[in-house]
Amino acid sequence: MTDSSEHRLAIVGAGVMGTGIATLALGHGIPVVLVDVDDETLKTARSRIRQQLRHAQLLGALPACRKQGELTTTVSIADVADVTAVVEAVVESAETKAEVFAELAAVMQSDAPLISNTSGIPIAEMAGWTERPEQLVGTHFMNPSYLIEMVEVSRGPRTADAPVEAVVALLTALGRKAVLVGDAAGFVTSRLLHPMINAAVRIVEEGTATVEAVDQLMEGCLGHPTGPLRTADLIGLDNLVDSLDALYERTGEQTCRPCDLLLRKVRDGELGRKTGRGFYEYGKAMS
């Protein structure tokens, strides 16, 4: 395993994915600079990370006797200047990602990989949004990042070899297995999973089966570990809609067009586990 002391990670975006990746890195002894737009968001993120670290430790998902990395939270992109890699984990919006890339280009070390945890947008497209397309690498951590050991990795046509090698080394230090795939909208996991969840929601919307019945059948007959609708709640229904929108815009496939029930739940603020209610009800919103 690569020595964790070689790495200092920045994560831009303190939502579900950003905090999950931060938990993974901190638990493997890697210091993290977590960036978001306001102190309240970062306060919530620190609380979530503490909970997730306890959860991961209880499950034995982190190295034993490894000193945790130091967490720094900030609203200033300038604070990522001395990191060895940056993970962009903001919403699946071209405008937002392009804005973040422009800010990062002004402060990042010239040889630090810029890692986009995108779920729908091809790396070739995003390369046009940064002055350093050769440093841009795509990853797709699955949620919860601190428990799932496989990570999808994609390079664009302008990505150099060195940043890909650096990302694989970072993932190895995090105890993760990198699986390299080609560059395309949604890569592999999102292109398969998200339209399937959308189809499951549509089945409920049409009255063919209840939420519970869909998940029970997918678990019991087809071996899905949690069922697609419980998985949707874990992803976050707003994140799922953003990803489906990105896929639909780039592929034109009707299976990627978010169905009405999914859109209605997002409008009503029923976003899944993080709000305490989605397709299922939970004890309380994730803090």
| 282 inside domain | no
Residue 31 lies in a domain: yes
What is the pLDDT at residue 86? Answer: 98
Query: Quick check: 2 pLDDT over 60?
Result: no
Are 44 and 171 within one domain?
yes
Of 63-67, 243-247, 252-256, which gets the smallest average pLDDT? 63-67
Q: Of 147, 181, 215, at which residue does a domain stop?
A: 181
Summarised one tens digit per residue, pLDDT across range 54-94 is 999 999 999 988 899 999 999 999 999 999 999 999 999 99
- pLDDT of 65: 83
CATH number where 261 lies: 1.10.1040.10
Residue 53's pLDDT is: 96
Task: Give yes or no: residues 63 and 205 share one domain.
Answer: no
Last residue of a domain, one of 181, 199, 228: 181
pLDDT at res. 284: 65
Find residue 177's DSSP bridge partners: 150
* Cβ partners under 8 Å of residue 206, min gap 6: none
List helix spans (H) across the chain: 16-27, 39-58, 94-105, 123-126, 161-173, 189-205, 211-220, 228-235, 237-251, 260-267
Domain total in the chain: 2
pLDDT of 12 over the 90 cut: yes
Could you tell me if 209 and 157 lie in one domain? Answer: no
Claim to verify: residue 85 and residue 145 sit in the same structural domain: yes
For residues 165 and 30, state if they share a domain: yes
Q: Are residues 133 and 261 in the same domain?
A: no
Q: Are residues 33 and 151 in the same domain?
A: yes
Q: Is residue 278 part of a domain?
A: no
- Domain shared by 165 and 257, yes or no: no
Asked if residue 287 has pLDDT above 80, the reply is no
99 and 193 within one domain: no
Q: What burial letters (b/e) apply to 215-244, b meaning 16+ CB within 10 Å? A: beebeeeeebeebbbbbbbbbbbbbbbbbb
In a domain, 174, yes or no: yes
Q: What is the pLDDT of residue 64?
A: 85
Q: Residue 218: pLDDT above 50?
A: yes
Tell me: pLDDT of 1 over 50: no
Q: Are residues 175 and 227 in the same domain?
A: no
Give 79's contacts (C-beta < 8 A, 6+ positions apart).
Answer: 10, 33, 35, 72
Residue 207: predicted pLDDT: 98
What CATH number should be reported for the domain holding residue 134?
Answer: 3.40.50.720
Whether 281 maps to a domain, the answer reads: no
What tens digit of pLDDT does each residue of 109-133 get? 989 999 999 988 999 999 999 999 9
Mean pLDDT value of segment 188-216: 97
Q: How far apart are CA 238 and CA 201, in angstroms?
A: 14
User: What pLDDT does residue 4 have?
Assistant: 63
The mean pLDDT of 149-166, rounded to a whole number, is: 97
Predicted local confidence at residue 283, as pLDDT: 79
Closest CA to 87 of 113, 124, 50: 113
Task: Give yes or no: residues 105 and 228 share one domain.
Answer: no
Write out the residue range of the structural domain in which residue 208 sits.
189-273
Q: What is the mean pLDDT of residues 139-156?
A: 95
pLDDT at 220: 97
131 & 9 share domain: yes
